[in-house]
Structure 1
Amino acid sequence: MELRDETQKLKRAHVILKEKFGYEQFRAGQWQVIQDVLNGHDVFAMMPTGSGKSICYEVPGYLMEGLVLIISPLLSLMEDQVHQLRKIGEKQARALNGLMHPQERKRVLQKINTLRFLFISPEMLRQPQILAVLQRTKVSLFVVDEAHCVSQWGHDFRPDYLYLAQIKAKLGYPPCLAVTATADERVRVDIARALDLRDVRQLLMSVDRSNIALIVKKVMDNSEKVDQLIQLLSKVRLPGIVYCAARDWTERLAEQIRLHTGLRTAYYHGGMDAVDRRKIQNQFLDGELDVLCCTNAFGMGINKPDIRLVVHFQFPGTMNAYLQEIGRASRDGKQGLAVLYYTEQDERYPSGFIDMNFPDDTMLHQVLVELDQGLLQTEPKDNFLETLQGRGASETAARFLYEQVRAVPREKRFLSILDECRRIIRERRIIQMNDLKVMKDYINSNTCRRAFYQSFYKEKQQHKPKLCCDQCGLQFDAFSGEESPEDRPHSEQILEWRARLTLLLKGSDHEK
């Protein structure tokens, strides 16, 4: 009987896959995840970038009664996912976000029982009025997309992720699907605990992308690094992403690349206006840019299969982040290249970011004292965060403090949590410094780089590609571009989108 039921499920799933999405067969791992979801299990799936993780909750959405609720970290990612569903004719997919007009948000909530897919951020999900509506709705599947954010951001930058288990309980414990491209063993345990995954089924596919070659290039200083980057971009296949640790570097590099190569180049970082970021992202996705210089604010969920190059101008603080970012190259299966430039000066960035994640001891003590004296108030939250940031705390450190003090009972003094806060900071710093050590070990390794990170994820190297890494004899010559630099447009022909838009608007005014 069970075998017949499973066969029927598979047939129905194949029909959906072909009729809705146009695919003949499931990719590796997809049916296993879908099957476990349809059988009511919690599932953790680690599947490489480009493997079709979204199919794992979209197909069940057509086979289960009720709403598929997808918790997504970024507005742009939600919009893209809704857009992709709309392209296949799905009209019952919406996203709820803070930029929506209140009336539009109200209309979505009023029609929630007619929806099949709802994308939402963890912050929006915690709003009482939204949670109240969802509690009256049949949620058939609780999806946490980019689940590494639960561990990577939840403890510090976006603590709302740590309340997902409570919300899931309030919704009646629907089956939970957590999906990500990279998560080491510690992060997987962290995710399972934070989401309260029960009787969980795991699909752990290899983190290795054999079509992405790996090069680490050590240089003397930033000047040499810029020179080498410009030479690289003049020779290799594009489009490419250049990741920088600091916002000012994205702007400086974009200007240098434009001046010296004539490539269509722009920058992207979290300090830009949201509209500007969206326009730059769309330009890159539409093939109007050759190179995008950005911070780690860019890239999550980006659906651009033909990125050929990912450069790290400074290295990230964790192996998980590094593999997430280089995994944006060559999702179409063709050859890609990941280059990491390193100089000793770079080490100040990840170490500095770790320090910035937490308030220093002086600020921690002072804030607790002022809360006890009534000189500071925890609510409204935005005022509290702004006050701390005005005193020099980073946004992450301010959010950390807020999460610690908001839970203090009225009968207790705020200063009573001082030692506990110190303990939490100490423990989290140790974890983050250990993650950083792994990344440094990767950079300084004299063995195969692919084998290094596979060992970190407790994988055995099954296949060594011909174009593997610099430690295996790989040279830049293997990645020469398909067109010569002379064929590329000259810098004077390149205009940033603002300038182009201004000219277009002037032109339309003359036409009027």
Structure 2
Amino acid sequence: MNQSETEIPIEDDSSHEEDSDSGQRISASNPIEDDSSNEEDSNSSQRITESEVIDEIAALNRGESLPDKLASLKLNLYGDEAKDEQLEAVAALVHDRHTFVLAGTGFGKTRIAEMYHNLFQPYQKSIVLVLNPLDSLGDNQVEEKKKVGVNNRHIKAVNLTSNVLDAKMARKIISGEFEFVYLSPEALLNNEIFRDVYFNPKFQSRLSLIVVDEAHMVYVWGLVANGQSKGLTSHLKHGERGVFRPGYGELAARLMATNGTLLLMMSTTCRPIAINSILESFKLTRQMVTFVEAELTRPEIRMLRINMQKSLASSEDLADLFSTQEQTPDNEIIPTLIYSTTRNLTGQVLDVVNDAREANQEDDPFSTFARRYHSITGDMDKSDVTGDFTKGFFPVVSSTMALGLGQNWKRVRCVIHMGRGDPASICQMLGRCRRDGKKGLAIMFVEPHRKNGKNSVSDFTNVELQNDDDRMDALGYIPLSFDDPNYKREAKREVDAGFSECSCSNCKPESSKWVINNFKRANINNFDLFISDSPQDIAELFPIRQEKQVADNQINWVEESGKKPLHEILEAFAQALVWYFCDFFDSEMKGAAAYPPDAYFSIIHARKISRNIKHLTLDNIEQLIGNEMLTGQFKMLFDHITLFQSTDSYQYISHRQEELDAELDSKAARLRKEKEDKDNQRAEATRAIQEAAAQKKIDTAARVKANAEKKRTAKEAKFIESEKKKAKRESDMAFLHQLQAQAEID
């Protein structure tokens, strides 16, 4: 696109409607009045009611029953009671306060922006700008905006992907045609068309709110921008999270370049250091921001951390979780999301689970068992997958994190994540589980060893100071130390809050192991009982699946292509077999054959027989060379084989082969023994290193404790000495005063 095409006219096509002051920012507490009376809402009765509420809210003094008014408005629009934290966040925005919402997955954070936006009159054409880390998340949100609330109100929204944003779309955005505008960091910073839109005075005057969804990503982008991410691998584990560019560190400056537009930041996984970094990036202090903190813990989700037995690339650990189609029909399989770190692995997951189900549906786009979803899945396929899963047409989705953020599926009962990764992102994905508040199961399959990582609790020397890779490795070991004051504080808080007893794989390892080993027996009818602390009466699978066993009479044929000559004795016998067959062929066909003899039996067949002569019988020769071409062929060949086996030449070569086999077996046994010895030595060395490290930690702790005790003793002695001196000084002063008093009397 050339430069002239990127010029965006700022005039609004609707000339009869102008803002009283194009540079004035609209707000819920200071709406811009419209003198024109020729514009009416198509749903006037509903909007009149809302208008009355909005007028009352606009006229309220600060704090005057505002939450009650907002609660009434939400009840009318959504048909359910508002949460206190939602009301608190909207009230803060009404009072022109930047707001940071910390709430768990499934809390309803997206409703906050919708509730605030709904306070504006339609003629104001308020615009909410939402920054998303993923384009797919914007697509999901746009789809949800088509039916909002009990009346299925359509909120006009657009996701500004690269193939959507052009000059025509820019004019629509500036004129206020869309109420919610979703975009990625790439579009915000590097798209020339949106840059002209963003700094357009009319757009800025309509901009009522900027929403930073998944605000923890601002912290991650900041690490990339200032170089602190060098050496970290956690943020590279999720291939669908987008390319990290140093320029993304400039997001805050661009977002704050507005006419005082309010900022709504939302996150589930922001820890204190991330919050401080985000505020610093936005040039905000804590006094300038209202923090709304809801419950972050999801006690209804049981979390299990399982060490993989197979490789991550194979994903074969999943095979043990699924029964066959005959044992459990597709419509009884637990609704499950399986997350992989790359697009290729989503296909591998489909192969593994379909093999376990004996279904062969991995390539079926209309499978009734499992389908695939990732960032480059076609738009129509994405719609089919999400729509059909919601309707219950199939129970399992194999996806990347492109499906993770923003989905509000109450049907999901189990979430599985394959491999280590960024804890913040993993928690987001696991949070898709049980949005209806009922019991759910989250399973993390992790590699037992990460190169240069911390692979056991003893590897964590400082549990209080951790980088993102440490947190990635620690996920599942939590708590690293039961003496950690943060752990004690959180444990006490959960007890005080009345949370149920934790059933994670750390707190209840035996019960968790039983759940994984018997997961095949779970279905939608017994799932709640299955993941409980004391499962009972879980029926066995029927029919019992028989393991495939190798038959005792199965022969391990020596592989032979037949293209190269064999040992001279065996080669001579093979050539003889070809001549014997030629004589047999001529006597049987008597010159009436359409093809020569080697079309039916060639040197290749003869060499295969020679290499496997020890295993051949009249009954199994067909397994080696195929069907009999002429009646009596196999009997003729076997007669010559029997005759050859009685010769001295065969006895010699057979004896020689036995010697070679014994030599190979001896060599293999020696190599196995050497490998076992090396493995044992390596294990012993590793054990010694670990014991030395553990002893060093014990010695260090003892030394620290001794030093602390020494300092305490010295401090006590110093205090006692000080008290003695003080007492002596007071005694001397008292005696001096006594002498002075006596002198005055005298």
Matched AA of 2:504: C
TM-superposed CA distance for 1:314, in Å, is 0.9
Report the CA distance shift for 1:139/1:103 in structure 2 as closer, same or farther (over 3 A).
closer
Report the CA distance shift for 1:464/1:92 in structure 2 as closer, same or farther (over 3 A).
closer
Q: Which residue of 2 aligns with 1:267?
A: 372
SS, match of residue 177 in structure 1 = strand
Cα distance in 1 between the residues matched to 2:485 and 2:321? 25
Q: Which residue of 1 aligns with 2:299?
A: 210
TM-superposed CA distance for 1:209, in Å, is 0.4
Match of 2:139 among 79, 84, 87: 79
Superposition map of 1:412-423 within 5 A:
none
TM-superposed CA distance for 1:302, in Å, is 1.2
Q: Deviations over 1:324-376 (max 9, x none)?
A: 1211111111111111223335x25999xxxxxxxxxxxxxxxxxxxxxxxxx
Contact residue 243 and residue 314 of structure 1 kept, 8 A: no
Q: Which residue of 2 aligns with 1:138?
A: 206
Contact residue 454 and residue 461 of structure 1 kept, 8 A: no
Cα distance in 1 between the residues matched to 2:157 and 2:488? 38
- Report whether the alignment pairs 1:22 with 2:91: no
Cα distance in 1 between the residues matched to 2:313 and 2:197? 53
- Report whether the alignment pairs 1:147 with 2:211: no
Q: Which residue of 2 aligns with 1:441?
A: 474
Report the CA distance shift for 1:293/1:82 in structure 2 as closer, same or farther (over 3 A).
closer
Q: Deviations over 1:238-262 (max 9, x none)?
A: 2112222333322112111112224
Q: Which residue of 1 aligns with 2:415?
A: 310
TM-score by length of 1: 0.68
- Report whether the alignment pairs 1:180 with 2:267: yes
Q: Deviations over 1:222-276 (max 9, x none)?
A: 3999555233244896211222233332211211111222471123334655665
Q: Which residue of 2 aligns with 1:247?
A: 343
TM-superposed CA distance for 1:464, in Å, is 4.7
Contact residue 75 and residue 82 of structure 2 kept, 8 A: no
TM-superposed CA distance for 1:13, in Å, is 1.7
TM-superposed CA distance for 1:144, in Å, is 0.9
Cα distance in 2 between the residues matched to 1:277 and 1:160? 30
TM-superposed CA distance for 1:196, in Å, is 3.0
Contact residue 102 and residue 294 of structure 2 kept, 8 A: yes
Cα distance in 1 between the residues matched to 2:485 and 2:542? 38
Q: Which residue of 1 aligns with 2:289?
A: 200
Matched AA of 2:211: V
Higher gyration radius (CA): 2
Superposition map of 1:358-369 within 5 A:
none
User: In percent, how many aligned pairs have the same letter?
Assistant: 22
- Report whether the alignment pairs 1:471 with 2:535: no
TM-superposed CA distance for 1:95, in Å, is 3.5
SS, match of residue 196 in structure 2 = helix
Cα distance in 2 between the residues matched to 1:284 and 1:465? 31
Contact residue 433 and residue 440 of structure 2 kept, 8 A: yes
Report the CA distance shift for 1:439/1:167 in structure 2 as closer, same or farther (over 3 A).
closer
Q: Which residue of 1 aligns with 2:118?
A: 62
- Tell which deviates more after alignment, 299-308 or 96-105: 96-105
- Backbone CA RMSD of aligned residues: 3.8
TM-superposed CA distance for 1:93, in Å, is 3.6
Cα distance in 1 between the residues matched to 2:522 and 2:182? 41
Matched AA of 1:19: N
Q: Which residue of 1 aligns with 2:161?
A: 97
Report the CA distance shift for 1:216/1:201 in structure 2 as closer, same or farther (over 3 A).
same
Q: Deviations over 1:437-461 (max 9, x none)?
A: 2232333457799x99984996743
Gap regions ≥5 residues in structure 2 = 1-56, 225-243, 360-367, 455-464, 526-538, 544-746
Cα distance in 1 between the residues matched to 2:352 and 2:499? 36
Work out which structure has the larger RCO, using CA pairs closer than 8 Å and 6 or more positions apart in sequence. Answer: 1
SS, match of residue 412 in structure 2 = coil
Contact residue 170 and residue 197 of structure 2 kept, 8 A: no
Report the CA distance shift for 1:204/1:454 in structure 2 as closer, same or farther (over 3 A).
farther
TM-superposed CA distance for 1:92, in Å, is 4.2
TM-superposed CA distance for 1:44, in Å, is 0.9
- Report whether the alignment pairs 1:339 with 2:443: yes
Cα distance in 2 between the residues matched to 1:81 and 1:238? 26
Superposition map of 1:272-291 within 5 A:
272=377, 276-277=381-382, 279-291=384-396
Contact residue 320 and residue 356 of structure 2 kept, 8 A: no
Q: Which residue of 2 aligns with 1:117?
A: 180
Match of 1:38 among 80, 94, 100: 94
TM-superposed CA distance for 1:282, in Å, is 4.2
TM-score by length of 2: 0.48
Q: Which residue of 1 aligns with 2:254?
A: 167
TM-superposed CA distance for 1:148, in Å, is 1.6
Contact residue 185 and residue 457 of structure 1 kept, 8 A: no
Report the CA distance shift for 1:256/1:457 in structure 2 as closer, same or farther (over 3 A).
farther
Cα distance in 1 between the residues matched to 2:211 and 2:298? 25
Q: Which residue of 1 aligns with 2:666?
A: none
Gap regions ≥5 residues in structure 1 = 352-431, 488-512
